[in-house]
């Protein structure tokens, strides 16, 4: 008999269960976590329940306060626990009915996977009981953790932040999301082994926090990173294969414009009543008392009403909310040992979105444009980006495209696949994906923003120019800060500035002529160029030659209005001089990586500049800008005949709890463009052991 500990308000009660697949507790005699010197947990267990229990424990140890906040927010009860400042978040969660969906997901989860998630939650609760001093008293109001919290958090993060983020973002900024990914086949690899570059770009913190771990059980050995609070690594590799994701330009959520009439809303020529519910929200007051607010949720045939103005309302429809088996698909992907097994799991289409870039020990590489794409009767990409008429069934989708309809590239002659958040047509070149074979509403034909194509082009340029890529070279490619936009535009700007510009513009042109065209910390001229590029691309049609799908590596090019570009350079020079008293202020003097011990110079910048090493910055004091996102996890993996080898870096570290030595402990490593070794064998982990947790 083995024990679980279940939470009853104010006390833990000991429960007994027999170990079994999906319904038991952890094997306390054979489950342990070896923590390496970078704070990465290597979890070893004799069965899957024990593995998930320990994984939940590990997440709580490293990020307990943050996990409890995220789960409280996913319940729509954060204001009840922590005050009025969380009320807007609770209203969104309750409007979208995420707690109801989470309960349904938990109830419909199949065994043994239902038991795995329950064990994950119990591991979190057990840590909270064993180490109450490690958690904030206010955060403990969200205890106990339940399996419904896990599913609610998945829904809030993947479906509402990623899938529906663009739709909801018309009223609120949800944060940027992106990624780079490469898979290199044997014909392009110096060693003849497949290589994989994992590089998601997300904000640093909140629901986007990565947690790095190794999970080892019977017939199971996987290493990767999970989005915090989730019971599975989202990007990972095992002994045979690995994958990563990028955010794909997919439309799997839509806003419907409703005309309000007496009795409800207009539908097929008549009035149709809303389905309504009154929900109660509790709000903690400064004195500790709790008051109750009410809100009414209205649902049309499309989904919940998320906005109203006058006699118009907007309803949101999101694909995938009725697909509760996302955890099952990832679990099976982690256990796959061949391309055929892995692709069989992709075919389940239980992921709501994401490109998947894959490589394996047999030398296969794969790109797949994934997600649950609605089958629509009409319209192109542009049509579905705004609210569509909600008074007719002709716009109401009910089914999704099967796997075979989605763009896919496997083992191309080029020997590589890549994605940097652009549409699928440049996953490799020459492209085997015919645009006419892809429904016009599924994905755009060109990158979305005027400058959104420079980073993908830099990615392609590096891959295409090297016919024999070594594992060691991947670090240099990933650390590349070349501003490709400068290569495309300075040959027009500099002559125009010398010919038409005043004294200040000509001085600025001289600085840019001498500049190394990078966003390295020591680079002089990059601050000026970045200020100019942001200004000039705000102009309508800034490029002489816009992006052309038939010239994906060389367009856009040139300046449509050289005179306006020169004026923008003069203005940018004035701003930089006023703020920094120098046109050659180093990039790293302005752009900083901030950690618990202070800040260090940053190398990297926004992908709009064509930089592959992506960092996003927020303005701070004294003209400095602090990195708040971008490269959030980097892993390089080579699939050798003797098993994988890998290096990685997690810039902000693998913990956020107060006092943890791993808060920001990898920031200097990242600043130095270095990666740390990934220890995979038990012997190598024990050789770099910081702590051991035994159950």
What is the pLDDT at residue 167?
Answer: 64
Alpha-carbon distance 242 to 474, whole Å?
16
Give the model's confidence band at 5: pLDDT under 50 very low, under 70 low, under 90 confident, else very high: very low
Residue 485, beta-bridge partner list: none
Residue 281, beta-bridge partner list: 293
Average pLDDT of 266-291?
96
DSSP state letter for 374: B
What is the pLDDT at residue 29?
Answer: 57
**487 pLDDT above the threshold of 80:** yes
What is the pLDDT at residue 448?
Answer: 74
Q: Going by C-beta distance under 8 Å and a sequence separation of 6 or more, which residues neighbour residue 184?
A: 194, 195, 196, 197, 359, 365, 415, 416, 463, 469
- pLDDT tens digits, one per residue of 497-549: 999 999 999 999 999 999 999 999 999 999 999 999 999 998 888 999 999 99
User: What is the CB neighbour count within 10 angstroms for residue 169?
Assistant: 12
**25 pLDDT above the threshold of 60:** no
Residues above pLDDT 70, as percent of the chain: 94
What is the pLDDT at residue 366?
Answer: 98
Backbone φ, ψ for residue 244 (5° rounding) = -140, 170
Alpha-carbon distance 579 to 569, whole Å?
15
**CA of residue 432 relative to chain centroid, distance:** 27
- pLDDT tens digits, one per residue of 445-485: 998 765 578 999 999 999 999 999 999 999 999 999 999 99
Higher pLDDT, 388 or 10: 388
Q: Going by C-beta distance under 8 Å and a sequence separation of 6 or more, which residues neighbour residue 683?
A: none
**CA of residue 127 relative to chain centroid, distance:** 27
> Which pairs with CB-CB distance under 8 Å and at least 24 residues apart come from 163-170?
163/250, 163/252, 163/253, 163/318, 163/319, 163/320, 163/352, 163/353, 163/371, 164/253, 164/316, 164/318, 166/253, 166/385, 167/253, 167/254, 167/255, 167/316, 168/92, 168/306, 168/316, 170/255
Mean pLDDT of the chain: 93
Return the exposure string of 125-144: e unless at least 16 CB atoms fall within 10 Å of the residue's CB, then b: bbbbeeeeebbeeebeebbb
Hey, which CATH number is domain 254-318, 3.40.50.300, 2.30.120.10, 3.40.190.10, 3.30.2000.10?
2.30.120.10
Q: Is 55 exposed, middle or buried (0-12, 13-18, 19+ CB in 10 A)?
A: buried
2, containing H or E segment: strand 2-8
Average pLDDT of 240-263?
96
Lowest mean pLDDT among 6-10, 25-29, 37-41, 111-115: 6-10
Q: Going by C-beta distance under 8 Å and a sequence separation of 6 or more, which residues neighbour residue 467?
A: 188
**171 pLDDT above the threshold of 70:** no
Average pLDDT of 411-435?
97
What is the pLDDT at residue 527?
Answer: 98
What is the pLDDT at residue 19?
Answer: 31
- pLDDT tens digits, one per residue of 206-219: 999 999 999 999 88
Alpha-carbon distance 346 to 328, whole Å?
11
HSE at residue 140, side-chain half, CA atoms within 13 A, is 17
Alpha-carbon distance 182 to 185, whole Å?
10
Average pLDDT of 133-157?
97
Average pLDDT of 197-205?
97
Alpha-carbon distance 132 to 129, whole Å?
6
Higher pLDDT, 347 or 452: 347
**Reported pTM:** 0.94
What is the pLDDT at residue 482?
Answer: 98
Q: Is 574 exposed, middle or buried (0-12, 13-18, 19+ CB in 10 A)?
A: middle
Average pLDDT of 134-143?
98
- pLDDT tens digits, one per residue of 59-77: 999 999 999 999 999 999 9
| Domain 484-603 homologous superfamily, CATH | Aminohydrolase, alpha-helical knob region (1.10.1400.10)
The counts of H helices and E strands in the chain are: 19, 32
**15 pLDDT above the threshold of 90:** no
**6 pLDDT above the threshold of 70:** no
| Domain 2-176+681-694 homologous superfamily, CATH | Penicillin Amidohydrolase, domain 1 (1.10.439.10)
What is the pLDDT at residue 164?
Answer: 77
- pLDDT tens digits, one per residue of 371-406: 999 999 999 999 999 999 999 999 999 999 999 999
**16 pLDDT above the threshold of 60:** no
Residues above pLDDT 90, as percent of the chain: 89
Domain ranges of the chain: 2-176+681-694, 254-318, 484-603
**27 pLDDT above the threshold of 90:** no
């Amino acid at each position: 008999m083995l024990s679980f500990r279940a939470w009853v308000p104010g006390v833990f009660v000991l429960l007994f269960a027999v170990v079994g697949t999906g319904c038991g507790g952890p094997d306390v005699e054979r489950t342990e976590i070896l923590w390496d010197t970078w704070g990465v947990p290597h979890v070893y267990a004799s069965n899957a329940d024990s593995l998930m229990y320990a994984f939940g424990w590990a997440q709580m140890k490293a990020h307990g306060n943050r996990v409890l906040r995220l789960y409280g927010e996913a319940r729509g009860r954060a204001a009840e626990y922590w005050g009025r400042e969380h009320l807007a978040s609770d209203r969104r969660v309750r409007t979208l009915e995420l707690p109801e969906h989470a309960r349904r997901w938990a109830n419909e989860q199949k065994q043994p996977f239902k038991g795995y998630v329950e064990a994950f939650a119990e591991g979190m609760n057990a840590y909270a009981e064993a180490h109450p001093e490690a958690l904030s008293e206010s955060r403990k109001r969200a205890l106990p953790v339940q399996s419904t919290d896990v599913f609610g958090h998945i829904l809030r993060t993947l479906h509402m932040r990623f899938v529906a983020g663009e739709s909801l973002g018309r009223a609120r900024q949800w944060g940027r999301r992106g990624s780079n990914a490469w898979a290199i086949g044997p014909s392009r690899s110096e060693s003849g082994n497949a290589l994989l570059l994992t590089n998601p770009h997300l904000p640093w913190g909140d629901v986007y926090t990565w947690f790095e771990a190794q999970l080892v059980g019977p017939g199971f050995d996987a290493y990767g990173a999970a989005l915090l609070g989730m019971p599975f690594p989202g990007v990972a590799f095992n002994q045979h294969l690995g994958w990563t994701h990028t955010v794909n330009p997919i439309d799997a959520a839509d806003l419907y414009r409703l005309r309000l009439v007496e009795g409800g809303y207009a539908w097929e020529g008549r009035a149709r009543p809303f389905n309504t519910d009154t929900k109660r929200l509790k709000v903690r007051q400064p004195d500790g008392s709790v008051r109750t607010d009410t809100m009414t949720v209205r649902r049309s045939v499309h989904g919940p009403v998320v906005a109203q103005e006058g006699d118009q309302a907007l309803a949101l429809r999101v694909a995938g909310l009725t697909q509760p088996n996302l955890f099952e698909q990832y679990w099976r992907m982690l256990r796959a040992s061949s391309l055929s097994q892995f692709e069989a799991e992709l075919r389940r289409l239980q992921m709501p979105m994401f490109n998947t870039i894959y490589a394996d020990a047999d030398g296969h590489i794969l790109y797949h444009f994934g997600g649950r794409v609605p089958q629509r009767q009409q319209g192109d990409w542009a049509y579905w980006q705004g609210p569509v008429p909600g008074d007719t069934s002709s716009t109401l989708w009910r089914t999704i495209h099967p796997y075979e309809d989605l763009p896919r590239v496997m083992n191309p002659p080029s020997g590589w696949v890549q994605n940097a958040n652009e549409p699928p047509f440049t996953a490799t070149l020459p492209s085997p994906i015919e645009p006419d074979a892809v429904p016009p509403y599924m994905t755009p034909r060109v990158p979305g923003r005027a400058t959104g194509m420079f980073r993908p082009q830099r990615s392609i340029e590096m891959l295409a120019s090297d016919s024999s890529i070594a594992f060691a070279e991947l670090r240099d490619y990933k650390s590349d800060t070349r501003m490709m936009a400068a290569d495309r535009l300075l040959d027009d700007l500099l002559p125009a500035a010398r010919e038409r510009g005043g004294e200040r513009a000509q001085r600025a042109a001289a600085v840019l002529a001498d500049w190394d065209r990078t966003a390295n910390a020591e680079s002089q001229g990059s601050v000026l160029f970045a200020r100019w590029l942001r200004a000039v691309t705000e102009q309508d049609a800034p490029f002489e030659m816009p992006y052309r799908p038939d010239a994906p590596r060389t367009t856009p090019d040139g300046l449509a209005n050289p005179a306006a570009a020169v004026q923008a350079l003069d203005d940018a020079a004035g701003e930089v001089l006023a703020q920094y008293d120098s046109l050659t202020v180093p990039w790293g003097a302005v752009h900083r990586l901030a950690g618990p011990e202070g800040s260090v110079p940053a190398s990297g910048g926004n992908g709009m500049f064509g930089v592959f090493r992506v960092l996003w910055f927020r303005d701070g004091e004294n003209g400095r800008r602090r990195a708040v996102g971008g490269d959030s996890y980097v892993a390089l993996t080579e699939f050798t005949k003797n098993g994988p080898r890998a290096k990685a870096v997690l810039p902000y570290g693998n913990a956020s709890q107060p006092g943890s030595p791993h808060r920001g402990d990898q920031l200097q490593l990242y600043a130095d463009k270095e990666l740390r070794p990934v220890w995979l064998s038990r012997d190598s982990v024990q050789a770099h052991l910081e702590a051991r947790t035994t159950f």
